[in-house]
Structures are given as structure tokens and as C-alpha cells.
Amino acid sequence: MTQEKSNRQLRKDRKQREATRRRLTTIGLISLGAVFLSFVFIYQAAQPQKAVIAPEAVERPEGEGLALGDPDAPIKIDVFEDFQCPACKQFTESVESRVLSELVKTGQAYYVFHQYPFLDKNSITKESHQAASASMCASEQGKFWEYHDVLFANWNGENEGAFNDARLKEFAKTVGLDVDAFTTCLDEDRYADAIEADFNLGNEMGVSGTPSVFVNGVMVKPGFIPSYEDIVAAIAEAQN
């Protein structure tokens, strides 16, 4: 064998060893990731579950699905929220109820909730998406708003297990859902496309955080939690 052929063979052997090493490294990293993911889910499942908080029933205007009020009302209020968002919890507890009782129930506005689960972007457990998915499965049984209230009542930090699958199924019992049907819906991620459509709509409208509130398509006080007064002012502006 000439020296040139010998060098070519050495280079070929070296490349093959490097390719084998890369494949083994990739397989090792994938295996490690799978083990880590399994550990996360097993760890969360093994943690003691806090008692579910059942909030008081809330009287709301009539509606359908994620919308409340008269769809022919002159004002449309679109709200984009993430169930893991503490500011959304604050908005729900301090602003939404007044908007519904004083603006939606009186026929002045039509109120539409949109899913914008962004707080689990870098999370393995995807609790924002799972909470959104669970609320949609509850909506399938006509109880979106009851489930919405239970989610916010049991909020306990972001991606820390408050909305793991076991908890979401406990919430379903709390609001009186058919748990078997709910579990099937949740496990198959039945509403993934609808959630993604809401998320994409939010992006198109300029949403970058939650809660984001729009009055007739115009965002109210971007970057802040709108107050009831902010929303009333935006409605007055829209009517001019």
C-alpha cells in the first residue's frame, strides 16, 4: 500500500470514528433528556397535592363557550389570558366581574376570552398549555367559566405543579364534570388547534403579555393591567 493510500485510509477511519462518536453522543443526550423528563413527571406526581380550593359560584351574563353577552352588542371586548399569569388572576378578581356586571350584562358589550398560554415556553411540563386545554375540555361540557374560576383560585406559581394533569382532573371533579370524558379530551389534547389559533390571533393583534384587553380591536393600556375605568374610557373613545 502506498503512503498516499495509507493516509487516505487513516483519514477515512478517523471520519468514521468521529461520526460514530457523534451518534453515540446524540443518543446519550436524548436518553438523558428522556430520563430527566421522566424524573420531572414522577417527582411532580409524588408531591403531596394541596386540597383543591372551590371558589364561590359567580353569576355571569348568558353566553356560549368562551364568550359572554350579546354578540350584536356595539362593543366587543377581547381578553387574552394565560391561566398561570398572576396579573390575569388579579384582573379576573378585580376588574372582570365589574366589566361583566356593568357592561356585558346591560347589553353594552360582548366579552370574549382568548387563550394565550405563553408562560410555559421554556418549561418541560407545559402547564399553561395544559390548563388552557383543560378549560377547553370543560367548555365542551358547558362549564368553561366554572373551570376558569377554579384554575385561578388554585394558582400557586408558574410551572411548579399547580396545574399538573392530576390536579387538572381534580378540578374537573370540583366543578362537576364527567371526569372520564374530560380525561379523554385532555389526554388527547383535543383543542390544541383551537388554542394555537387563539395564540396566533393574539400575536397578530399585538399581544406580547397577559392580560391583554382590546375594545373593538384596540388594545387598552398596553403593558399594564387595565382598570375598569380604563376599559370604560376606551369604550367611550370607540363610540366617538
- Check which CATH number belongs to the domain holding 219 and give it: 3.40.30.10
Confidence of residue 20 (pLDDT cuts 50, 70, 90): confident
Distance CA 34, CA 49 (A): 25
For residue 211, say if its preceding peptide bond is cis, omega within 30 degrees of 0.
yes
pLDDT at 49 over 70: no
Q: What is the pLDDT of residue 146?
A: 98
**Pairs from 51-55 (Cβ < 8 Å, separation ≥ 24):** 52/150, 52/154, 52/167, 52/170, 52/171, 52/174, 53/150, 53/153, 53/154, 54/150, 54/153, 54/174, 55/149, 55/150, 55/152, 55/153
Q: Whole-number mean pLDDT of the chain?
A: 89
Per the structure, the complete domain to which residue 82 belongs is given by: 63-239
Q: What is the pLDDT of residue 86?
A: 96
Question: Do the domain assignments include residue 21?
Answer: no
Question: Do the domain assignments include residue 49?
Answer: no
Work out whether the CA dihedral 34, 40, 46, 51 comes out positive or negative: negative
pLDDT at 43 over 60: no
By the 8 A CB rule, do 156 and 85 touch? no
Domain count, the chain: 1
Q: What is the pLDDT of residue 18?
A: 79
∠ CA 209-111-73, rounded to 5°: 140
Which of 48-62, 89-103, 117-131 is least confident? 48-62
What is this structure's pTM?
A: 0.80
Question: Do the domain assignments include residue 42?
Answer: no
Question: Within 13 A of 91's CA, how many CA atoms are on the CB side?
Answer: 22
∠ CA 104-108-109, rounded to 5°: 55
More confident residue, 21 or 196: 196
Question: Do the domain assignments include residue 27?
Answer: no
Between the alpha carbon of residue 60 and those of residues 35, 210, 213, the distances in Å are 46, 22, 19
pLDDT at 23 over 80: no
Question: Do the domain assignments include residue 88?
Answer: yes
Question: Do the domain assignments include residue 37?
Answer: no
With 0-12 / 13-18 / 19 or more C-beta atoms within 10 angstroms meaning exposed / middle / buried, residue 115 is buried
pLDDT tens per residue, range 154-168: 999 899 899 999 999
Q: What is the pLDDT of residue 42?
A: 45
